[in-house]
Amino acid sequence: MQSTAEFYAVVTQISNILKIAEIYIRKKAPNLSSNYIKRKIIERENLGETYVGHKTIILHVISTEITANFCLYLFLLNIAKWESLYSKKIHQVNKVMIICVNPKLTTPEFKFLLKFFNCRPEQVEHNFGLKKNEIYQIK
């Protein structure tokens, strides 16, 4: 089973968040091109809001080209502007979490991630057999 890894970085000079993401992802996954990484981030950004509040965005690179799942946590010393492709709003950001996963890998931390990302609320009961207003533990 592939293991997940977490990486932390403090960034001081670069304010372009996509450039920051690309630099750090390529350190862990050098086989991915800069354009490919940006395209995957933008694909996911178009599906839903990545700004989660508290000056934080969560970006995603979901690709079978990733050989091991990992997360990057980037702390920006200066506030950067992030324009959401989904909502068209501009957010002030100083924390960026980037989840990089291969949907074919089944590490426990990310086992249901792709299903979760691709699921709409009205699909939950049908696709997963869950009842509304119930709490379930995923094993």
Q: In this structure, are residues 47 and 62 in contact, taking their beta carbons and an 8 Å threshold?
A: no
Q: Read off the DSSP letter of residue 4.
A: P
**Domain presence at residue 138:** no
38 domain-assigned: yes
pLDDT in tens, 38-80: 999 999 988 889 999 999 999 999 898 988 888 888 888 788 8
| CATH number, residue 36 | 3.40.930.10
What stretches of the chain adopt beta strand conformation (E)?
5-11, 51-53, 56-62, 70-83, 90-101
- The pTM score is 0.71
Higher pLDDT, 137 or 66: 66
Q: Strand order of the sheet with strand 5-11? A: 5-11, 70-83, 90-101, 56-62, 51-53
Domain that holds residue 20: 5-105
